[in-house]
């Protein structure tokens, strides 16, 4: 049964995406070779349809808004891994050692 924390989440899923991006250059230069960027994105799933997926770095559940978003064409995605946000923040479902600070003071 869902609890209060899970029910308060407007953005309920996080995603990890491996994808290939186009390269854009705004300077005059000689192009030696055509290239693309291999990218990795992790964030809150904001919106999705058959053609694209939108991921945000920052969300506000109370305002139902998001910031720092990227819209990625699904045709460019090689891998999409989904995880319910509640499973990530629920300490009983996650190894508690990942929440301990390192000697340098970071997680």
In angstroms, the CA 83 to CA 47 distance is: 15
Residue 18 class from Cβ within 10 Å (0-12 exposed, 13-18 middle, 19+ buried)?
A: middle
Q: Higher model confidence: residue 4 or residue 78?
A: 78
Do 56 and 10 form a contact (C-beta atoms < 8 A)?
Answer: no
Residue 95: per-residue pLDDT? 64
Exposure letters 72-83 (e unless 16+ CB within 10 A, then b): beeebbeebeee
Question: What end-to-end distance do the CA atoms of the chain give, in Å?
Answer: 30
- Considering the entire predicted model, what is its pTM? 0.77
Residue 67: per-residue pLDDT? 96
* Boundaries of every domain in the chain: 4-99
For 67-100, the pLDDT digits (tens) are 999 999 999 999 999 999 888 777 665 566 655 6
Phi–psi pair at 27, nearest 5 degrees: -105, 155
For 18-62, the pLDDT digits (tens) are 999 999 989 999 988 999 999 999 999 999 999 999 999 999 989
Do 14 and 69 form a contact (C-beta atoms < 8 A)?
Answer: no
Q: Which two tokens stand for residue 75?
A: 């045709």
Residue 9: per-residue pLDDT? 82
């Amino acid at each position: 049964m869902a609890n209060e924390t899970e029910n308060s989440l407007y953005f309920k899923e996080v995603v990890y995406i491996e994808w290939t991006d186009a390269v854009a250059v705004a300077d005059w230069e000689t192009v030696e070779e055509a290239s693309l960027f291999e990218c990795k994105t992790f964030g809150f799933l904001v919106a999705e349809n058959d053609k694209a997926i939108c991921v945000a770095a920052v969300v506000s559940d109370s305002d139902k808004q998001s910031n720092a978003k990227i819209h990625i064409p699904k045709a460019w995605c090689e891998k999409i891994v989904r995880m319910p946000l509640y499973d990530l923040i629920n300490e009983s479902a996650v190894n508690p050692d990942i929440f301990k600070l390192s000697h340098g003071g970071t997680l």
